[in-house]
Structure 1
Amino acid sequence: MKTNYRNSLWLTGMLLAAFSASAQTSVSDKKADNEGIRHNYDIVHNENGNRTERIQTELNNRIYKIEFVNEKMTSLFVDGEKIAPADWHNYNEAIATIRREMKEQARRNAEQAKRNAEQAVRNQQQAKLNAEQEVRNQEQVKRNAEQARLNASQNAVNAEQAVRNQAQALANEDQAKRNEEQVARNKEQAKRNAEQAQQNELQAKKNAEQARANEQMMKDITEDLVTDKIIPDSSGLREMKLNKFGMSVNGVKQPEAIFRKYKEKYSKFFDGNFSYSRDGVIRGSGD
């Protein structure tokens, strides 16, 4: 048996009073029909090859209960009272309205069923998309877990590096202190170097003056040696030595008189030992 529920509307209230029973309706029939007047329905089913439709609905504040077999009305109740077939024509307009509303409701229900079916297809498609997304989400969860593991490993490496960095920072701080001390020493050394440079400059001036004096002295000595015929000319002096034991020129020891003459004349330069060679090296008090 196939059953079709066309209308699922509910009555919004209960009937406040029951109408008087018709003379043609028995008390037992009225009681039986009043049991179901709280609900609206339109039920269609087949029984033994016959199409049976049972309707219960409210119209103009009255409850109608109607039965059709093969589209032919077979019973009618109004507010729980059974209406005799002879009086059915009094309800033709109401029944036509009810059938029209039921058909309209059936049409709307069919349209809604179509929309529901389309929505069901969309829901299935969305469910498929959701399932695919869930797979991607699970894969992402796995990737996130792996990334978390890698992050934890990296954090451990970073912690070790932080310890090394701290140790290096302490070493750098100590080195910076030593560098600062070295800068102070370098500054002090630079000061001493500057003072030494000044002394060197003064000494260089003295050396230059001494070199000029030595050059003039050797020129004078050479002229005296040429005059005294000890050497033939100014280029003849190769070597000369003078000390407390005597004087020699080009390896030849000179007489005592020559020794005293030169020592007295050039006593400023002959204080102690004095020697000269052609390479220009002079040793002695003028050195």
Structure 2
Amino acid sequence: MKTNYLRSALLLIAATALTTAANAQKPGKKTAFNSYNNYDTFDGKGRERIQTNWNGKTYQMELANNKLVALSVDGEIIPSTKWSEYSTVIASIREQIRKDKIQAKKDQAQAKRDQEQAGRDQQQAKRDQEQAERDQRQAKVEQEEAARDQEQAKRDQEQASKDQLQAKRDQEQASRDQEQAKRDQEQASRDQVQAKHDQEQAHLDQIQAKKDQERAAEDQRMLKQMIGDMVADHILPNEDALHELSFNGEELIVNGKKQPDNVFKKYSEKYPRFAKGNTTYENGKRQFNGLHIHRN
């Protein structure tokens, strides 16, 4: 009981501090700060505290066990007798919160699948390298076989000279065998060159797969760090509030809002990898999810 009460008290203090800081940045203006807290109170009731900008208005509400207990719109406290007038917008806000939670789980699952695919690619590169080694061994066997064929042709030619009646036919056959041996040797040489090329390509593929995996991990780490900086700079209310991001050498747009020049300069200097890479991030849209960087 005491742990739940302490947790709810800390959340209440944090929410109050964040709201005060956001309002202090632009005196006299309605804040567009979005926040969501879900916690248990000491009396065992589940509490939800929501603050969001919805269709140009700032809504603040608190629910206990899924029932509305407090509501204000643009800083004006709404009496309980008028709550029914806001039932539709409250339901829409809560539905959006539910969808955002579902989307966050989907993004996490997709990241896991991407990592597993990278592992499979690395295993395939290893199999390709092993196949190239087998091809090289086979080429060596064929080359040795060609040498034996050449030796056999020589013996046939010697035998033909001993047999005068059969000499002409044997000599022609030996000549044909020698030509075939030469073609076999040339083919073996080409096979050996191809096997070496395949082995080199497999090695390059393995290196590229490792680089891609490391780059993807570094991009995710830097994105998380940048989101943390945006929360600290009050660009975002929390780490889950980022829905859209566009970052290139000319501008920084967060959730559809272009950031001031001083903010753009700060993040360009700290995250040149994203600024130079023409980075986009979209969360919650069916056609595209996650981080994407166009690299020059």
TM-score category (smaller protein): 0.3 to 0.5
Q: Which has the larger radius of gyration?
A: 1
Greater helix share, structure number = 2
TM-score (norm. length: structure 1) = 0.35
TM-score (norm. length: structure 2) = 0.34
Instruction: Identify which of structures 1 and 2 has the higher relative contact order when contacts are C-alpha pairs closer than 8 Å and 6+ apart.
Output: 2
